Amino acid sequence: MSDRSDRDRIRLDDLTDNQLDALYDQRDSARRMLDPADLRLVDEMLSTVDEYRTRAEQAERDAARFHAAWHSARLRAQREASHSRVCRISRNGWRRRAKQDEAAIVRVRALATQWAVLRNHGSAATELRAALDGPHTT
Protein backbone atom coordinates (compact mmCIF):
# COMPACT_ATOMS: atom_id res chain seq x y z
CA MET A 1 0.00 0.00 0.00
CA SER A 2 1.11 3.53 -0.60
CA ASP A 3 1.93 5.78 2.31
CA ARG A 4 0.14 8.67 0.61
CA SER A 5 -3.06 9.79 2.27
CA ASP A 6 -6.37 10.01 0.44
CA ARG A 7 -6.21 13.80 0.48
CA ASP A 8 -2.99 13.67 -1.58
CA ARG A 9 -4.57 11.44 -4.20
CA ILE A 10 -5.65 12.81 -7.56
CA ARG A 11 -9.26 12.12 -8.42
CA LEU A 12 -9.72 10.22 -11.67
CA ASP A 13 -11.83 13.06 -13.09
CA ASP A 14 -8.99 15.51 -12.35
CA LEU A 15 -6.22 13.35 -13.87
CA THR A 16 -4.46 15.10 -16.75
CA ASP A 17 -3.07 13.42 -19.86
CA ASN A 18 0.52 14.01 -18.68
CA GLN A 19 -0.22 12.46 -15.28
CA LEU A 20 -1.82 9.45 -16.97
CA ASP A 21 1.23 9.05 -19.23
CA ALA A 22 3.46 9.17 -16.14
CA LEU A 23 1.39 6.41 -14.54
CA TYR A 24 1.73 4.26 -17.65
CA ASP A 25 5.50 4.85 -17.60
CA GLN A 26 5.66 3.78 -13.93
CA ARG A 27 3.64 0.68 -14.78
CA ASP A 28 5.94 -0.20 -17.65
CA SER A 29 9.03 0.29 -15.40
CA ALA A 30 7.49 -1.96 -12.76
CA ARG A 31 6.74 -4.60 -15.40
CA ARG A 32 10.35 -4.61 -16.58
CA MET A 33 11.47 -5.33 -13.00
CA LEU A 34 9.11 -8.30 -12.64
CA ASP A 35 10.02 -11.76 -13.80
CA PRO A 36 7.80 -13.31 -16.51
CA ALA A 37 5.80 -15.42 -14.02
CA ASP A 38 4.90 -12.34 -11.99
CA LEU A 39 4.08 -10.49 -15.19
CA ARG A 40 1.64 -13.26 -16.20
CA LEU A 41 0.03 -13.01 -12.77
CA VAL A 42 -0.35 -9.25 -13.17
CA ASP A 43 -1.83 -9.73 -16.64
CA GLU A 44 -4.30 -12.29 -15.25
CA MET A 45 -5.24 -9.90 -12.47
CA LEU A 46 -5.73 -7.08 -14.97
CA SER A 47 -7.82 -9.40 -17.11
CA THR A 48 -9.93 -10.26 -14.06
CA VAL A 49 -10.32 -6.58 -13.23
CA ASP A 50 -11.42 -5.89 -16.81
CA GLU A 51 -13.90 -8.75 -16.60
CA TYR A 52 -15.35 -7.38 -13.34
CA ARG A 53 -15.52 -3.90 -14.86
CA THR A 54 -17.40 -5.32 -17.86
CA ARG A 55 -19.79 -7.16 -15.54
CA ALA A 56 -20.32 -4.00 -13.47
CA GLU A 57 -21.06 -1.98 -16.61
CA GLN A 58 -23.52 -4.65 -17.76
CA ALA A 59 -25.15 -4.64 -14.32
CA GLU A 60 -25.51 -0.85 -14.54
CA ARG A 61 -27.14 -1.17 -17.97
CA ASP A 62 -29.41 -3.93 -16.67
CA ALA A 63 -30.35 -1.80 -13.67
CA ALA A 64 -31.15 1.13 -15.95
CA ARG A 65 -33.34 -1.11 -18.16
CA PHE A 66 -35.03 -2.56 -15.09
CA HIS A 67 -35.71 0.92 -13.74
CA ALA A 68 -37.13 2.04 -17.10
CA ALA A 69 -39.34 -1.07 -17.30
CA TRP A 70 -40.50 -0.59 -13.71
CA HIS A 71 -41.32 3.07 -14.38
CA SER A 72 -43.19 2.14 -17.57
CA ALA A 73 -45.18 -0.57 -15.77
CA ARG A 74 -46.01 1.87 -12.96
CA LEU A 75 -47.30 4.47 -15.43
CA ARG A 76 -49.30 1.80 -17.26
CA ALA A 77 -50.84 0.65 -13.97
CA GLN A 78 -51.74 4.24 -13.09
CA ARG A 79 -53.37 4.74 -16.50
CA GLU A 80 -55.31 1.48 -16.16
CA ALA A 81 -56.45 2.41 -12.65
CA SER A 82 -57.56 5.81 -13.92
CA HIS A 83 -59.37 4.18 -16.86
CA SER A 84 -61.04 1.75 -14.46
CA ARG A 85 -62.27 4.68 -12.33
CA VAL A 86 -63.61 6.45 -15.43
CA CYS A 87 -65.38 3.27 -16.58
CA ARG A 88 -66.86 2.76 -13.13
CA ILE A 89 -68.10 6.37 -13.03
CA SER A 90 -69.46 6.05 -16.58
CA ARG A 91 -71.12 2.73 -15.76
CA ASN A 92 -72.73 4.27 -12.68
CA GLY A 93 -73.87 7.22 -14.78
CA TRP A 94 -75.46 4.90 -17.34
CA ARG A 95 -77.20 2.95 -14.60
CA ARG A 96 -78.57 6.16 -13.11
CA ARG A 97 -79.68 7.30 -16.57
CA ALA A 98 -81.38 3.93 -17.22
CA LYS A 99 -83.30 4.23 -13.94
CA GLN A 100 -84.39 7.75 -14.87
CA ASP A 101 -85.51 6.54 -18.32
CA GLU A 102 -87.43 3.64 -16.79
CA ALA A 103 -89.14 6.03 -14.38
CA ALA A 104 -90.08 8.31 -17.30
CA ILE A 105 -91.58 5.35 -19.18
CA VAL A 106 -93.62 4.42 -16.12
CA ARG A 107 -94.90 8.02 -15.87
CA VAL A 108 -95.82 8.11 -19.58
CA ARG A 109 -97.69 4.80 -19.26
CA ALA A 110 -99.57 6.13 -16.24
CA LEU A 111 -100.45 9.26 -18.21
CA ALA A 112 -101.62 7.18 -21.18
CA THR A 113 -103.87 5.25 -18.82
CA GLN A 114 -105.18 8.52 -17.39
CA TRP A 115 -105.92 9.87 -20.91
CA ALA A 116 -107.73 6.69 -21.83
CA VAL A 117 -109.93 7.14 -18.78
CA LEU A 118 -110.50 10.89 -19.13
CA ARG A 119 -110.71 11.12 -22.92
CA ASN A 120 -109.63 14.69 -22.47
CA HIS A 121 -107.04 15.38 -25.17
CA GLY A 122 -107.10 19.18 -24.98
CA SER A 123 -104.22 19.45 -22.55
CA ALA A 124 -102.43 16.30 -23.70
CA ALA A 125 -99.11 17.96 -24.63
CA THR A 126 -98.91 19.80 -21.31
CA GLU A 127 -99.67 16.67 -19.33
CA LEU A 128 -97.21 14.59 -21.38
CA ARG A 129 -94.45 17.16 -20.80
CA ALA A 130 -95.18 17.25 -17.07
CA ALA A 131 -95.05 13.44 -16.93
CA LEU A 132 -91.69 13.35 -18.70
CA ASP A 133 -90.24 16.07 -16.47
CA GLY A 134 -91.11 14.37 -13.22
CA PRO A 135 -93.86 13.45 -10.78
CA HIS A 136 -96.96 15.62 -10.64
CA THR A 137 -97.00 18.22 -7.90
CA THR A 138 -100.54 19.27 -7.19
User: How high does pLDDT run on average in the chain?
Assistant: 78
| pLDDT of res. 35 | 76
Residue-wise pLDDT tens digits, 60-95: 898 889 888 888 888 888 888 787 777 777 777 788
CB 57 within 8 A of CB 48: no
Instruction: For residue 105, tell me if it sits in a domain.
Output: yes
| Whole-angstrom distance, CA of residue 54 vs CA of residue 2 | 27
- Quote the domain boundaries for residue 120: 13-133
Across 38-64, average pLDDT: 86
Number of domains in the chain: 1
* Global confidence as pTM: 0.36
The SS3 of residue 3 is coil
pLDDT band (50, 70, 90) for residue 121: low
pLDDT at 132: 67
Per-residue pLDDT at 126: 64
What DSSP string describes 51-77?
HHHHHHHHHHHHHHHHHHHHHHHHHHH
Residue 119 is predicted with a pLDDT of: 58
Residue 60 within any structural domain of the chain: yes
Q: Establish if 7 belongs to a structural domain.
A: no
